[in-house]
Structure 1
Amino acid sequence: MGCGQSKEGGAPATCESKANVDEQTYMFLCKVKLLKRLPKDELPALAKQATEVEFKPGQSIITQGEDGHDFFMIKKGTADVEINGKKVASLKAGDYFGENALLRNEPRNATIKANSQVITLKITRQSFMSLGLQDKLEFAKRGAVGGGAAVQAEVKPPCAKSDGDIALIKKALQSNANLNTIANLDEGRMKAMCDVMWKEEVPQGTALIKQNDLQADYFYVVQSGSFAVSKAEDTKEGQSAEDAATAQLGTVEAGGSFGELALLYFAPRAATITATEKSVVFVTARHQFKEILLKANEEETKQNLNYVGRCEVFEAALKDSEKKELAMAMLEMTFSKDETIFEQGEVGTQFFLLIEGSVNVIKDGKEVASLKATADKAPYFGEKALENKEPRAATVKVTSNTARTLFVDQDTFEAVLGSLTELVKRGKDGTTVVSKVPRKTAADTKRFGVIKFKDLKKLGLLGCGGFGAVELVEETKNGNMYALKQLSKGFVVKSGMQQSVMSEKNVQLMCDSPFVVKLYENYNSPEHLYLLLELALGGELYATYNKRNMWGNEPCAKFYVAGTVFAFEHLHSKKIVFRDLKPENLLLTDQGRVKLTDMGLAKVIFGKTYTTCGTPDYFAPELIASKGHGFAVDWWTLGVLTFELMSGHPPFESATPMQIYAKVQKGINTVTFPKKLKGDVEVMVKGLCHANPTERLPMKKGGIQNVKNQKWFSGFSWSDMESLSMKVPYAPTVKSKKDMKNFSANKEDMPPQVPYKDPKTGWDKDFATSD
Structure 2
Amino acid sequence: MGVCMQCNRSQLQGDNNKTSIGIGPKSIYRRHSSIKDPTKKMKNPVIDERSIEENFKEAPNAIISNKPKDEKDTQLISNVLRKHYIFNSIDRESQMIIIKKVKCYEVGAKELIFEQGQPGVCFFIVSSGKLEVKAGNEKSILGPGMSFGELALMDDRPRTATVRTLEVSVLWGLDRKTFMKAVKKIRIHEYEDNKKLINSVSIFNILTSNQKEALLGACVTQKRSAGDVIVKETDNSDLFFIVKEGVAVCTTEKNESREIHKGDFFGEHALMYQVPRMHTVVAATEVKLISISKENLLEVLGNSFEHILFRNSQKLAIDNSSALRSLSTKQKEAIIDKTRVKKYQSGEVVIQKDSYKAHKLFIVISGKVVGPREYSPLQCVGDEDIVSKADDVYEENHISLGESDVAEITVQEIEMCIGGEISQITIHNDAVGVLRQVQLLRGLSQDRINALTLALKITNFEDRQVIVQQSNPGHSFFIIKSGSVKVMKNEKFIRGITKNDYFGERSVLFNDFRTATVLADGPVSCWTLERDDFMNIISENIREKLIKRIEMQDTSVLLEELIPVRVVGTGVLGNVTLAVHNQKKSVYALKSLTRNRIEEYHIHNNLILEKNILMELDHIMIIKLIKTFKDPSRIYFLMEYVRGKDLFDVLLELGQVSEDQSKFYAACLMVTLDYLHERNIIHRDLKPENIIIDDEGYTKLIDFGAAAIVEGRTYTAIGTPHYLAPEIILRVGYSYAVDWWSLGVMIHEMVFGHVPFGSDDEDPLAIYEKILEGHLNLENLPYKSNHFKNILTQLLNKNPAARTCGGFGYLKSNSWFGNFNWDRLMSRQLRPPYTPKCQYEEEEIASALQNPRDLDNFLNDVENAQNALIYKKRTQGPPGANWDDNF
What is the letter of the counterpart of residue 106 of structure 2?
A: E
Tell me the distance in 2 between the aligned counterparts of 1:751 and 1:396.
70
1:409 aligned partner: none
User: Is 2:348 aligned against 1:229?
Assistant: no
Tell me the distance in 2 between the aligned counterparts of 1:487 and 1:677.
50
Tell me the distance in 1 between the aligned counterparts of 2:601 and 2:343.
54
Specify whether residues 206 and 492 from structure 1 end up closer, same or farther in structure 2 by C-alpha distance, changes over 3 A only: farther
Specify whether residues 524 and 273 from structure 1 end up closer, same or farther in structure 2 by C-alpha distance, changes over 3 A only: farther
Tell me the distance in 2 between the aligned counterparts of 1:670 and 1:663.
12
Is the partner of 2:97 in helix, strand or coil? helix
Specify whether residues 571 and 559 from structure 1 end up closer, same or farther in structure 2 by C-alpha distance, changes over 3 A only: same
Specify whether residues 306 and 105 from structure 1 end up closer, same or farther in structure 2 by C-alpha distance, changes over 3 A only: closer
Is the partner of 2:811 in helix, strand or coil? helix
Specify whether residues 762 and 549 from structure 1 end up closer, same or farther in structure 2 by C-alpha distance, changes over 3 A only: same
Q: How does 1:593-608 map to 2 (within 5 A)?
A: 593-608=698-713
What is the letter of the counterpart of residue 212 of structure 1?
A: G
Specify whether residues 465 and 163 from structure 1 end up closer, same or farther in structure 2 by C-alpha distance, changes over 3 A only: farther
Q: Once the two structures are superposed, what CA deviation does each residue of 1:297-328 show, in whole Å capped at 9, x if it has no partner? A: 212302323555788999xxxxxxxxxxx999
Q: Contact conserved, 1:142 with 1:615, CA < 8 A, in 2? A: yes
Is the partner of 1:332 in helix, strand or coil? helix
Tell me the distance in 1 between the aligned counterparts of 2:150 and 2:619.
40
1:549 is displaced (CA, Å) by 3.8
Instruction: Pick which of 518-527 and 464-473 moved more.
Output: 464-473
What is the letter of the counterpart of residue 636 of structure 2?
A: Y
Q: Once the two structures are superposed, what CA deviation does each residue of 1:226-246 show, in whole Å capped at 9, x if it has no partner? A: 3333445xx8xxxxxxxxxxx
Q: Once the two structures are superposed, what CA deviation does each residue of 1:184-238 show, in whole Å capped at 9, x if it has no partner? A: 2543343223211222234444442333334x33222222333333445xx8xxx
Tell me the distance in 2 between the aligned counterparts of 1:229 and 1:284.
19
Is the partner of 1:725 in helix, strand or coil? coil
Is the partner of 1:690 in helix, strand or coil? coil
Tell me the distance in 2 between the aligned counterparts of 1:183 and 1:519.
43
Q: 1:165 aligns with which of 73, 81, 91?
A: 73
Specify whether residues 764 and 553 from structure 1 end up closer, same or farther in structure 2 by C-alpha distance, changes over 3 A only: farther
Specify whether residues 328 and 162 from structure 1 end up closer, same or farther in structure 2 by C-alpha distance, changes over 3 A only: farther
1:762 aligned partner: 881
1:615 is displaced (CA, Å) by 0.8
User: Is 2:185 aligned against 1:281?
Assistant: no
Q: How does 1:122-271 map to 2 (within 5 A)?
A: 139=41, 141=43, 143-149=45-51, 152=54, 158-174=66-82, 177=83, 179-180=84-85, 183-214=88-119, 216-231=120-135, 250-271=140-161
Specify whether residues 490 and 166 from structure 1 end up closer, same or farther in structure 2 by C-alpha distance, changes over 3 A only: farther
2:839 aligned partner: 735
Q: CA RMSD, aligned part only?
A: 4.4
What is the letter of the counterpart of residue 67 of structure 2?
A: C
User: What are the ranges of 5 or more consecutive residues in structure 1 without an aligned counterpart?
Assistant: 1-37, 40-98, 110-124, 126-133, 236-246, 315-325, 351-358, 371-379, 385-390, 398-442, 741-745
Is the partner of 2:692 in helix, strand or coil? strand
User: Is 2:223 aligned against 1:104?
Assistant: no
Higher relative contact order (CA 8 A, sep 6+): 2
What is the letter of the counterpart of residue 100 of structure 2?
A: D
User: Is 2:583 aligned against 1:583?
Assistant: no
Q: Contact conserved, 1:159 with 1:197, CA < 8 A, in 2? A: no
Tell me the distance in 2 between the aligned counterparts of 1:254 and 1:458.
62
2:788 aligned partner: 681
1:620 is displaced (CA, Å) by 0.6
Specify whether residues 226 and 157 from structure 1 end up closer, same or farther in structure 2 by C-alpha distance, changes over 3 A only: closer
User: Is 2:653 aligned against 1:543?
Assistant: no
Normalising to structure 1: TM-score of the pair?
A: 0.61
1:587 is displaced (CA, Å) by 0.7
1:300 aligned partner: 191
Q: Once the two structures are superposed, what CA deviation does each residue of 1:48-77 show, in whole Å capped at 9, x if it has no partner? A: xxxxxxxxxxxxxxxxxxxxxxxxxxxxxx
Is the partner of 1:159 in helix, strand or coil? coil
Q: Contact conserved, 2:604 with 2:879, CA < 8 A, in 1? A: no
What is the letter of the counterpart of residue 172 of structure 1?
A: V
User: What are the ranges of 5 or more consecutive residues in structure 2 without an aligned counterpart?
Assistant: 1-8, 11-26, 58-63, 216-299, 330-340, 345-360, 369-375, 381-386, 388-403, 408-548, 845-864
Tell me the distance in 2 between the aligned counterparts of 1:206 and 1:684.
54
User: Is 2:730 aligned against 1:634?
Assistant: no
Instruction: Pick which of 462-471 and 476-485 moved more.
Output: 462-471
Q: Contact conserved, 1:219 with 1:263, CA < 8 A, in 2? A: yes
Specify whether residues 279 and 595 from structure 1 end up closer, same or farther in structure 2 by C-alpha distance, changes over 3 A only: same
What is the letter of the counterpart of residue 213 of structure 2?
A: L
Tell me the distance in 1 between the aligned counterparts of 2:717 and 2:108.
33
Specify whether residues 544 and 327 from structure 1 end up closer, same or farther in structure 2 by C-alpha distance, changes over 3 A only: closer
Specify whether residues 720 and 651 from structure 1 end up closer, same or farther in structure 2 by C-alpha distance, changes over 3 A only: same
Q: How does 1:345-744 map to 2 (within 5 A)?
A: 346-347=318-319, 364=362, 368-369=366-367, 447=553, 449-463=555-569, 469-487=575-593, 489-495=595-601, 497-526=603-632, 528-546=634-652, 548-652=653-757, 653=759, 654-669=761-776, 674-676=781-783, 679-697=786-804, 699-700=805-806, 703-737=807-841
1:100 is displaced (CA, Å) by 10
Q: Contact conserved, 2:343 with 2:405, CA < 8 A, in 1? A: yes
Q: Contact conserved, 2:628 with 2:637, CA < 8 A, in 1? A: yes
Q: Contact conserved, 2:43 with 2:690, CA < 8 A, in 1? A: no
Normalising to structure 2: TM-score of the pair?
A: 0.53
Q: Once the two structures are superposed, what CA deviation does each residue of 1:684-732 show, in whole Å capped at 9, x if it has no partner? A: 01111111111113x33xx222333333223432111101122222111
Q: Contact conserved, 2:602 with 2:875, CA < 8 A, in 1? A: no
Q: Contact conserved, 1:519 with 1:531, CA < 8 A, in 2? A: yes
Tell me the distance in 1 between the aligned counterparts of 2:630 and 2:80.
48
Q: Contact conserved, 1:464 with 1:751, CA < 8 A, in 2? A: no
What is the letter of the counterpart of residue 184 of structure 1?
A: S
Q: Contact conserved, 2:564 with 2:579, CA < 8 A, in 1? A: yes
Q: Once the two structures are superposed, what CA deviation does each residue of 1:569-601 show, in whole Å capped at 9, x if it has no partner? A: 110111111111000010122222211111111
Q: Contact conserved, 1:182 with 1:264, CA < 8 A, in 2? A: no
Tell me the distance in 2 between the aligned counterparts of 1:655 and 1:646.
21
Is the partner of 1:339 in helix, strand or coil? helix
Instruction: Pick which of 196-205 and 327-336 moved more.
Output: 327-336
What is the letter of the counterpart of residue 116 of structure 2?
A: Q
Q: Contact conserved, 2:578 with 2:589, CA < 8 A, in 1? A: yes
Specify whether residues 482 and 658 from structure 1 end up closer, same or farther in structure 2 by C-alpha distance, changes over 3 A only: same
Q: Once the two structures are superposed, what CA deviation does each residue of 1:550-576 show, in whole Å capped at 9, x if it has no partner? A: 342333322221111111111011111
Q: Number of residues paired by the alignment?
A: 538
Tell me the distance in 2 between the aligned counterparts of 1:283 and 1:675.
49
* Structure with larger Rg: 2
Q: Contact conserved, 1:465 with 1:750, CA < 8 A, in 2? A: no
Tell me the distance in 1 between the aligned counterparts of 2:713 and 2:377.
23
What is the letter of the counterpart of residue 647 of structure 1?
A: F
Tell me the distance in 2 between the aligned counterparts of 1:167 and 1:587.
52
Q: Contact conserved, 1:581 with 1:638, CA < 8 A, in 2? A: yes
1:609 is displaced (CA, Å) by 0.6
Tell me the distance in 2 between the aligned counterparts of 1:383 and 1:226.
75
2:243 aligned partner: none
Is the partner of 1:201 in helix, strand or coil? strand
Is the partner of 2:100 in helix, strand or coil? helix
What is the letter of the counterpart of residue 725 of structure 1?
A: Q
1:639 is displaced (CA, Å) by 0.7
Tell me the distance in 2 between the aligned counterparts of 1:747 and 1:556.
40
Tell me the distance in 2 between the aligned counterparts of 1:347 and 1:618.
39
What is the letter of the counterpart of residue 192 of structure 1?
A: I
What is the letter of the counterpart of residue 580 of structure 1?
A: D
Is the partner of 1:675 in helix, strand or coil? coil
Specify whether residues 555 and 764 from structure 1 end up closer, same or farther in structure 2 by C-alpha distance, changes over 3 A only: farther
Q: Contact conserved, 1:468 with 1:751, CA < 8 A, in 2? A: no
